[in-house]
Structure 1
Amino acid sequence: MSRPRIICHMHTLLNGKIDGIANPTSVGMRSQKLYFDLFLGKDRFYKEHRGWISGSGTSRAILGDKPAIELPEPYEPVPAGDFIADPDATMHYFAVDRSGSLQWEQGSFSYFDVEAHIVELIPASVSDAFKAHLRSVGVSYIIAGDEQLDMAEAVRKIGETFNTEEIILGGGGTLNWSMLRDGLCDEVSIVMMPIADGEKHTHSLFEADEKYSAPLPIGFSLASVEPLEDGSVWMRYGVNGPVDAN
């Protein structure tokens, strides 16, 4: 099958940042709930997906400041191929993990009132010790690419494995940009909260990283603008692609 439609759905400050000291304020949290409701709420706008993709930085924030441990080699060979720990899960958190470094301790977590089953996106080169660890804690994984993670293959396999024609892309900025740059994003949805904090070293909606993708002018077409509660604004854009210099 062809890959699912991918919507980059993000929550930003007025100055375009996606993290910082404004997020945990009362204004930031109310706006974040509006963002959440659009793709995970009971009357959500985005209805066709089975979960959202996030990068390793977002996953480490979920894991917290826990030191990595040396994983023991498995007693038996790990079966080849993908592993789905919870085939009955209704919502999934697809964690990009290019090196096999996210040491989850359980197979799911709660975001507001939604329980999301964790599915790691890893290359085949990840160690059997890491794969055995994921199996032991009930975390699923999808293998895409040999030495390096192949995101085009990963999203195709998500669509096939979970029978979905839509995926939410949920940051961070480096993952958002690399997928946009590689033609793996069809729509950008932004809930912009009415608050800014002036921080310089926080992350933006899209950020190029020389390891994954270079800067490039990419154009968008405005699809809709809608005011939300508390002064937040919801904007949707179609992706037009690279813009010529002339």
Structure 2
Amino acid sequence: MRPYIICHMMSLLDGRIDCDVTEKIETGDEYYEVLNQLDCSSTLMGRVTMEMHYALPEAFVAEDKAPIGEECFNIAIQTKGYIIAIDTMGKLKWPHNQFDGMPLLVITSEECPKEYLDTLTKQYISWIAVGKGSIDLKRAMEILRAEFGIERLSVTGGGNINAAFLKEGLLDEVSMMWCPGIDGRKGMTAAFDGLANDFPPTKLKLMSAEKLGDTIWARYNL
């Protein structure tokens, strides 16, 4: 058992997802209005996205680097929904334990220093440590459902974490918004990025499509 998972993204027509650029093209609240319509109680983002928008600028550096070394979790605040950060080795420092009205929950690997997880506990931040070497996303999603009660989850980037969920077969839907603009800069991250060259293409089935001003919103299932 795991949550029902929807990847929700806004990109330019060329698939790039630089928020600074998309916000210059699409200046309204359409992205967040659509996200609310998806009725997901919790939202998950990758380390880079969380570092850009939520975490403190300086990295956490453990004095004692001994790893937690086992699968475990801590529920600091029991609630209906969380804002969830993926942070494999425990590098992000947090100014608060809540953002956008939702408590923070951090997912790390079992290689994460115990000192980092103890720091989260002292800040009343929930956490999950799961996976040897890297985060076991499938097991993390099972823990989210069984222990934290999360039934619907939106994954909102960046491109590498979106691709990781796709690779693990964890996405039930893709909710994609294309705003009326082009980026075109070399090397900019796409909505799904970082997969090996031999990873097969993923065929989707269109569920619905809607015009929101000059923005197109389409929902697909896998």
| Structure-2-length-normalised TM-score | 0.88
> Of 199, 202, 208, which aligns to 1:218?
202
Aligned to 2:221: 238
**Which amino acid in 2 is paired with 1:233?**
I
Root-mean-square deviation (CA), in Å?
A: 2.3
Question: Residue type of the partner of 2:38?
Answer: Y
Letter in 2 for 1:37: E
Q: Which has the larger radius of gyration?
A: 1
AA aligned opposite 1:194: P
Superposition map of 1:2-81 within 5 A = 2-19=1-18, 21-25=20-24, 27-30=25-28, 33-40=29-36, 45-47=37-39, 49-63=40-54, 66-72=57-63, 81=72
Report if the CA contact (8 A) 1:208-1:215 is conserved: no
Check whether the contact 1:104–1:139 (CA below 8 A) recurs between aligned residues. no
**CA separation in 2, counterparts of 1:218 and 1:162?**
30
Equivalent pair of 2:109/2:134 in contact (CA under 8 Å):
yes
Write out aligned runs for 1:1-246 (5 A). Answer: 2-19=1-18, 21-25=20-24, 27-30=25-28, 33-40=29-36, 45-47=37-39, 49-63=40-54, 66-72=57-63, 81-88=72-79, 90-110=80-100, 115-209=101-195, 215-228=199-212, 230-239=213-222
Gaps of 5+ in 2: none
Q: Structure 1 pair 61/38, CA: closer, same or farther in 2 (3 Å)?
A: same
Structure 2 CA distance for partners of 1:18 and 1:119, relative to 1, 3 Å: same
Q: Which AA in structure 2 matches 1:6?
A: I
Contact 1:20 1:202 in 2 (8 A): no
Q: Which moved more, 1:50-59 or 1:137-146?
A: 137-146
Q: Tell me the TM-score normalized by structure 1.
A: 0.80
Question: Residues 73-108 of structure 1: CA distance to partner in whole angstroms, max 9, x if unpaired?
Answer: 5xxx9xx831122214x4311111111111212101
**Percentage identity across paired residues of the two chains:** 26
Counterpart amino acid of residue 207 in structure 2: A
Q: Which amino acid in 2 is paired with 1:121?
A: I
Measured after TM superposition, the shift of residue 20 of structure 1 is 5.3
1:28 alignment partner AA? E
